[in-house]
Amino acid sequence: MITSVKGTRDLLPPDTRVWNRVEAVAREVFALYGFDEIRTPVLESTELFVRSVGESTDIVHKEMYTFTDRGDRSVTLRPENTAGVARAYVEHAMAQAGRPWKLYYIGPQFRYERPQKGRYREFRQIGAEVLGAADAAADAELLVMLFDFLLRLGFTGVSVSLNSVGTEATRPAFVDAIRSFFSSNEKTLGDDDRRRLAENPLRVLDSKDPAVRQLVASPGFPKMVDLLPTLDPASDAHYRELKVLLVASNVPFKEDPLLVRGLDYYTRTVFEMTAEGLGAQNALLGGGRYDKLVSDLGGPKTPGIGFAIGEDRLIDVLPEAFRKVTIDDVRPVTLIPLDRNDVADALVLAKELRGAGFAVDVVTAAKGPGYGLKVAERSGAAVAILLGQKEREERTANLKDLAGRTQEVIPRAGLIEALRARL
Ligand code: HAM
């Protein structure tokens, strides 16, 4: 037996109904906020992620599916989608439109992580990016949209963790402060964290080592937000304005001065949301501002902000009511031809009912009423229609209500009306 590759999985019915419905709600909501879909390739040049996500991040350092193709180019299965969107923005000179772009995407991403519940090597993200909008109001609107989406899925009582990571103006001072904090504690650091401290001290905040996490959480650990008012008043003002706008928009948030996110391209605003049932290490979604990413990739100076929701995790913690309604939504009418001679009649009637908007399933193996009803019940049908010689000749249908367990012979002319009354 050949099985699926470790860390990948098949999504099967009826779960796929839930996936489709969640994606449909995302498309509906995002359209209401003026977003359009972008689809970028799953395969990108490796260089793109090295330059955007950053060489010292776990993603680039050890989680990418990178290989050399037959033309000797180093290519990578995208580990995230923001870099691809920014590349496309530059490649198609989208800045020339002279207005902000609001783009969303839904699709698979790949990271070579240790698989566990909620963590896969192939996973899917629902994300959105705004390119060309610098103001705090753009950050606020994006979060308003995110909460609107989550609310429509039935989530309540969720809140987002918020922080500002400043800009290059504050980065060197922050990095120095982290280095000097660890200078007396370097022995506590394992090999990975020592590498982080040397290459990019900000990444020490991603450490999963409990001893290091404890140090990072201690009161003496430097905080970027403390440096902002003196070193970068513009970023400080941006952060303060955002908080005012979020309060005014009823978006619940908690400030987390230790939140830095595991990707290098962020400037100013960063945010993340966790959910009960996912475990503290597994965020439901994350995002932030990246005002230098487009220019770092060779494009014009363009501010950007976005988020990505882990769709697998979202569906794991989806409110039960939404799941149930979605699964129960599709309840086909099942046509059961009793004999070979009744099959043509069933196919013609099926076409007619589908034309009237009913989902119709035909039990093509005409093996009698017992078998047909069993198939109908197992596939979740609400109504079964038995079609035999008698019904064909008398232009009737023998309608069985599977939930109510009633049976009625109805003239074909009144069948559509009778079904409408029941479904
Ligand atoms: P990220 O935090 O790396 O951000 O990923 C976003 C979300 O993707 C995570 O919160 C998580 O739900 C999901 N995710 C990540 N890795 C896995 C995995 N192995 N299995 C299942 N789900 C996973 C980004 O990707 C940024 N591009 C977000 C962004 C957009 N920032 C600005 N714009």
In a domain, 370, yes or no: yes
Determine the atom of ligand 1 nearest the C-alpha atom of 289. 32
Q: Pocket of ligand 1, candidates 80, 112, 117: which has the most ligand atoms within 8 Å of its Cβ, to mutate?
A: 80
Q: 337 with 238, same domain? A: no
Residue 121: pLDDT above 90? Answer: yes
Nearest Cα neighbor of 55 from 244, 199, 188 is: 199
| 332 pocket-lining for ligand 1 (C-beta < 6 Å) | no
Q: Where residue 264 sits, what CATH number does that domain have?
A: 3.30.930.10
Query: Residue 169: its pLDDT value, please?
Result: 85
Q: 374 with 239, same domain? A: no
Q: 299 with 400, same domain? A: no
Q: 257 with 299, same domain? A: yes
Residue 331: pLDDT above 90? Answer: no
Query: Residue 363: its pLDDT value, please?
Result: 97
Q: Where residue 371 sits, what CATH number does that domain have?
A: 3.40.50.800
Per-residue pLDDT tens for 290-309? 999 999 999 999 999 999 99
Residue 128: pLDDT above 80? Answer: yes
303 preceded by cis ω (within 30°)? no
In a domain, 211, yes or no: no
Residue 330: pLDDT above 80? Answer: no
The pTM for the full model equals 0.94
In a domain, 249, yes or no: yes
Per-residue pLDDT tens for 18-44? 999 999 999 999 999 999 999 999 999
In a domain, 203, yes or no: no
Asked which of 301, 323, 345 is the last residue of a domain, the reply is 323
Q: How many domains does the chain have?
A: 2
156 Cα: distance to centroid of ligand 1 (angstroms): 21
Query: Residue 2: its pLDDT value, please?
Result: 98
Q: 112 with 49, same domain? A: yes
Q: Pocket of ligand 1, candidates 52, 62, 125, 273: which has the most ligand atoms within 8 Å of its Cβ, to mutate?
A: 125
CA–CA distance, 349 with 355 (Å, rounded to integer):
10
Q: 147 with 107, same domain? A: yes
Residue 389: pLDDT above 80? Answer: yes
Q: 317 with 339, same domain? A: no
In a domain, 265, yes or no: yes
Query: Residue 228: its pLDDT value, please?
Result: 95
In a domain, 191, yes or no: no
| Domain membership of residue 281 as a residue range | 15-169+232-323
CA–CA distance, 49 with 262 (Å, rounded to integer):
13
19 Cα: distance to centroid of ligand 1 (angstroms): 17
228 Cα: distance to centroid of ligand 1 (angstroms): 27
Q: Mean pLDDT check: name the lowest of 13-22, 94-103, 329-338.
A: 329-338
148 Cα: distance to centroid of ligand 1 (angstroms): 20
Query: Residue 329: its pLDDT value, please?
Result: 83
Per-residue pLDDT tens for 342-361? 999 999 999 999 999 999 99
Determine the atom of ligand 1 nearest the C-alpha atom of 306. 33
Q: 279 with 416, same domain? A: no
Q: 245 with 372, same domain? A: no
Q: 144 with 50, same domain? A: yes
Asked which of 323, 346, 379 is the last residue of a domain, the reply is 323
Residue 244: pLDDT above 90? Answer: yes
Query: Considering the chain, what percentage of its residues have pLDDT values greater than 90?
Result: 87
Nearest CA to ligand 1 atom 20: 119
Residue 71: pLDDT above 90? Answer: yes
Span 393-414, average pLDDT: 94
In a domain, 208, yes or no: no
In a domain, 199, yes or no: no
Per-residue pLDDT tens for 136-149? 999 999 999 999 99
Q: 340 with 367, same domain? A: yes
Bridge partners of 309, per DSSP, are 126, 285
Span 245-265, average pLDDT: 96
Q: 336 with 317, same domain? A: no
Query: Residue 281: its pLDDT value, please?
Result: 74
Nearest CA to ligand 1 atom 1: 286
273 Cα: distance to centroid of ligand 1 (angstroms): 11
Per-residue pLDDT tens for 190-213? 998 999 899 889 889 888 899 999
Asked which of 302, 323, 344 is the last residue of a domain, the reply is 323
